[in-house]
Structure 1
Amino acid sequence: MKKRVTGIGGLFFKTKDVNATKDWYQKHLGFNTDEWGCTFKWKDDSGNLGTTQWSPFSEKSTHFEPSKKEFMFNYRVENLVELLKELKKEGVTILGEIQEFEYGKFGWILDNDGNKIELWEPIDENLFK
């Protein structure tokens, strides 16, 4: 099996005022924010393009459920379908079905503390158009 996690794909967290939070980070830390938050674009040591997403969510969002935490990590992975099969064999709780978009495939699991984790098999080149 290939590598499992290849990096951090995103940091997602709840906040009382999404727009005020994005504005604060833009003003004070220089984040280039949009409707989703901020996308950091980078290249790895081999020159491959990549992104990491930073996104504040409304404190009322149910996107992180069933986790009760105020945050969710997104990890970049290789071959999401095979990874989820392996994780299922290992007894890891798989949440929902894989979702596919032009920028990659997504799947969700729970860790040993009940934190929802998003797994992302990115199509980075589509994020650089």
Structure 2
Amino acid sequence: MEDSKPKVTGIGGVFFKTKDPEATKKWYSENLGLAVNQWGSAFEFRNAHRPDELNYLSWSPFSKDSDYFDPSEKEFMINYRVQHIEKLVENLKANGVTICDEIETYSYGKFVHIMDADGNKIELWEPIDRVFTEMGEETTK
């Protein structure tokens, strides 16, 4: 039986600000072996419930002057993988959670941003992982 509860299912990404994103990516590639691309690095892992399915987590350094994390004043943002994003947003609204924008749909999934109780902006992502698999880019394993 498939779990239909709207909820977080894992971490989808770790985003942080740095003075020089390109130098940061280079350092992590050269020193820690991350496979980097224009956004950072995609970590590949297997879905525990469907082991034949590849899933991805994004590691992305952002410029210090990026406004992507606004209105949060923090230097980081966590992306959570979710299921049933529309119902989850409906539940969050009912609980008085600040929803920063509307759900946006892309070929690789649906996204929305919220604020947590500590003023951290959070990105919620209902992924379509097969798109990344089909792209065939090198990943960090």
TM range (shorter): over 0.9
Aligned length in residues: 129
Give the 3-state SS of the residue equivalent to 2:93 in structure 1. helix
Residue of structure 1 in register with 2:44 after alignment: 41
Alignment of 1:12-91 (within 5 A): 12-45=15-48, 46-47=50-51, 48-91=53-96
Task: Give the TM-score of the pair, scaled to structure 2.
Answer: 0.89
Gap runs ≥5 in structure 2: 135-141
Q: 1:94 and 2:94 equivalent?
A: no
Residue 73 of structure 2 aligns to which amino acid in structure 1? K
1:13-40 residue CA offsets vs partner (Å, 9 max, x unmatched): 0000010000000000000001000001
Give the 3-state SS of the residue equivalent to 2:13 in structure 1. strand
Residue of structure 1 in register with 2:139 after alignment: none
> Aligned equivalents of 1:59 and 1:89: distance in 2?
34
CA RMSD in angstroms, aligned pairs only: 0.9
Residue of structure 2 in register with 1:111 after alignment: 116
> Aligned equivalents of 2:88 and 2:6: distance in 1?
9
Is the 2:6–2:88 contact (alpha carbons within 8 Å) kept by the matching residues of 1? Answer: no
> Aligned equivalents of 1:103 and 1:44: distance in 2?
17
Give the 3-state SS of the residue equivalent to 1:33 in structure 2. coil
Residue of structure 1 in register with 2:130 after alignment: 125
Query: How far is 1:126 from its partner?
Result: 1.0
Is the 2:109–2:126 contact (alpha carbons within 8 Å) kept by the matching residues of 1? Answer: yes
Residue 112 of structure 2 aligns to which amino acid in structure 1? G
Q: Which runs of at least 4 in structure 1 moved beyond 6 Å after TM superposition?
A: none
> Aligned equivalents of 1:113 and 1:119: distance in 2?
17
Identity %: 53
Q: 1:6 and 2:9 equivalent?
A: yes
Give the 3-state SS of the residue equivalent to 1:62 in structure 2. coil
Give the 3-state SS of the residue equivalent to 1:36 in structure 2. coil
Q: Select the structure that is richer in strand.
A: 1
Task: Give the TM-score of the pair, scaled to structure 1.
Answer: 0.97
Query: How far is 1:78 from its partner?
Result: 0.1
Query: How far is 1:99 from its partner?
Result: 1.1
